[in-house]
Each structure stands twice: as C-alpha cells, then as structure tokens.
Amino acid sequence: MSLNKEVVLQGAKDAFGAPAAVLFAGMVGFGAMGQANGLDIWLTSATSFFMFALPGQVVLIEMLVLGASGVAIAFAVTLTATRFFTMCLTLFPQFPEKQRSSFYYVLVHFMAMTSWAIAMKDFPKMEPEKRLSYFTGFALVCWGVSTPGTALGYLIAGQVPSYLNLGMVFINPLFFLLTFTEVKPRANRIAILLGAVIGPVSYLWFPNYSLLIAGLVGGTIAYSVDLSLRKKAIA
Amino acid sequence: MPETVDLSNMFNDAGMWAALIAACLGTYLWRGLGVFLSGKISQDSEIFKWLSAVTYAMVAALTLRIILLPVGLLSTVPIYVRLTVTILALIVMYSKPGERMVPALLTGTLALVLYALAINYIN
C-alpha cells in the first residue's frame, strides 16, 4: 500500500466543509431518533461505527421499534445496502490496478454515498495515482465525524427543539439531491431522473425491493438510451 | 416525534445486538463483494457505464424516497412543504451551476426550519 500523505491530507481537508458537516448533521438527527425511540446510546452509536449507512440505520431502528424479528431486520437492512455493491464496482476500478491490495477491504467500510458521489464527480479531473490517497483521507473524515455526531445527537436530543432537528434530518437527502445536479455523463443524468420516479412509486408496492427495481430498471433504460444516442452520433 | 417506548417489552437487549450485528454483516457483505469483483471491471468498459447508471438510479431512488415518503420526524411535515423547500434549494443551485452548493443547502434547510418555527409559534 502506498499512500501519499500530502494527498491524504488534501482529501481530509476537502471533506471538512460541506460534506462532513452534512453527514455530521444527519448523524446528530439520527442520534436524536435513537433516543426518541428508547434505544440505548451504545447501540445507537454502534450502528454509525459498524454499519455507517444512514438509510440502513434508520430502517434498523424503525424495525426494532416495531418489534420485527432479527432475521427480518437483517434482511431489510441488507437489501437497502445493495447500492454499496455497485458503488464499489464503479469506484475501485478508477484506482490504478497496481495499487490494489487487501487495504481495499478496510477502506471500503469507510465509503459512504457522500464520498462516492464526490469521487465520481472529481476523479475524472484527478491524476489516477492520487485518487486512492485522496479518497482515503476524504472517506476517513466522513466516517470519523459520524459516530461522535450520533452520540452527540443522542445526548442533546431532549434539549434541541424539534424544528432544529428537522433541519438536521433534512440536510442529508437535500445534499444528495443537489449533488445530482452536478452529474455530467448523460447516461447517469437520465438514470437519476428515472430512479427518482421509479424509486418512490415502486416503494408503495414493494418497499423492500424498491431500490433494486429502480436501480436495475432505471439504470438499464438510461444506459440503453445513452447507448443508442451514442450510436446515432457515430452513424 | 414518536413517543418514547419501552423496548424491553418487545425485544430483549441481546436480541437487539444480534440484529445489529447481522445488519452490519449484511451491509459489509455488499461492500466486500464489490471490492472483490471490482478488479474484473475496467473503467472504460461498457459494463462500467451500465453499473454507473444503475448506481445513480439507485441512489436517486433512495434520496427521493427519503424526501417524498419519509419516516420519523420528516414525515410530520406536509409533502407540499417538503416539495416547496426542495424546489427553492434547486432554484438556488441552478442559479449559478457549480458554485451554489452551500447557499442552496442553507436555503432549503433554513426554509424548512423557519416553517417548523412558524408552526410552533402558531400552535
């Protein structure tokens, strides 16, 4: 493993600012949710430390409160996490093949939608040799602020008025929505539009599988449309 | 805000931790599997383009679901309010592409907080 310390620090520095602040706020909101639902602070914080996937964490708490079985909970959370599979398949090939090592299996735990989205946007402009170091610094900061944020949110839950909490819960999805406007490749732009429609609609009928359906159907249609447009441009 | 419930009636502590461990393993499974298979994919390939589209469709679906069909605190806000503040933020974002992330974020978030404050005040 050969990380360039300077680039790692640059990634870490860039993460401080909007990305880490947004994630931190989301985790504070999540900590407050854990407290409001009567979970203990250790379990609530452990989800951020060991799972580090906010939508999955919310599903976990929601189902614990409903008294669902452990198997049902694990199943539902695992299904919400499917996105990590294709996020990895589109992130790691952008690192030079000679840098591949078992370190990837550690690093991947620190990947969040935030760091993935930033990597997809900025990697094309970055030298391939710098990407792994940059991502390491960036992702570690995002992960690093999450558990303290969760614990803090839990501890101050009673004192924070709900209108402020509301802002913290909302800032996360809003951030992702806004990053979508900066996505450049045509196929991905079409995919975002289709996913945005198919996701909520399919959720009404198949809540567990809605993300998979939206991803496969929306993504495949978007890719096909883009492919046929590319072929037309050549012809 | 949901009422505080005594979870011990529905789920014992060990059971909750077991569910947590299983959920974490399930989440890591996707991450690890993705790393394992990522070596076989070239970033210039067609399959990479397709997988990127699939991922963006998935994260867009997730984001819109959280905004349109939320659980918990956000679900206490009427959908037209959520939509209005979202559109406000998007307008700010598009007003100068590439440079408006923080102002757009603040616009949307503060608009929602102000709405909740106003409702608080009226009640």
Domain check: are A170 and A180 in the same one? yes
| Residue A147 in tokens | 């558990």
Helices B46-68, A219-234: crossing angle, 10 deg rounding: 140
Measured at the alpha carbon of residue A208, what is the angle toward residues A195 and B24, in degrees to the nearest 5? Answer: 105
DSSP state of B2: P
Give the pLDDT score at B11. Answer: 59
Does B54 contact A170 at a Cβ distance shorter than 8 Å?
no
Give the pLDDT score at A94. Answer: 96
Q: Would the pTM count as exceeding 0.95?
A: no
Domain check: are A234 and A157 in the same one? no
Domain check: are A121 and A195 in the same one? no
For B:37-76, CB contacts with A below 8 A are 37-39, 41-43, 46, 48-69, 71-74, 76
Give the pLDDT score at B120. Answer: 85
Give the list of residues 6+ apart from residue A128 with CB closer than 8 angstroms, or none: A94, A95, A96
Domain check: are A132 and A165 in the same one? yes
Count of other CB atoms within 10 angstroms of residue A73:
26
Give the pLDDT score at A22. Answer: 94
Of the three residues A145, A167, A184, the one that is the final residue of a domain is A184
Domain check: are A115 and A82 in the same one? yes
Give the pLDDT score at B2. Answer: 46
- Domain with A197 in it: 185-235
Domain check: are A190 and A136 in the same one? no
B6, B43, B64, B123, best to mutate vs chain A, most A CBs in 10 Å: B64
Which residues of chain B fall short of a pLDDT of 50? Answer: 1-4
Domain check: are A151 and A109 in the same one? yes
Domain check: are A152 and A220 in the same one? no
For A157-200, the DSSP string reads: TTTS-HHHHHHHHHHHHHHHHHHHTT---HHHHHHHHHHHHHHH
Give the pLDDT score at A129. Answer: 95
Give the pLDDT score at A13. Answer: 96
Domain check: are A84 and A142 in the same one? yes
What's the average pLDDT block by block, 10 residues per block, for chain A (235 residues)? 90 94 95 93 96 95 90 94 96 95 96 94 95 97 97 93 91 94 95 97 93 96 97 88
Structural domain boundaries in chain B:
1-40, 41-72, 77-123
Give the pLDDT score at B96. Answer: 83
Give the pLDDT score at B1. Answer: 42
Give the pLDDT score at B3. Answer: 45
Count: domains in chain A: 2
Spatial distance between the Cα atoms of A68 and A198, rounded to a whole number of angstroms: 27
Does B52 contact A120 at a Cβ distance shorter than 8 Å?
yes
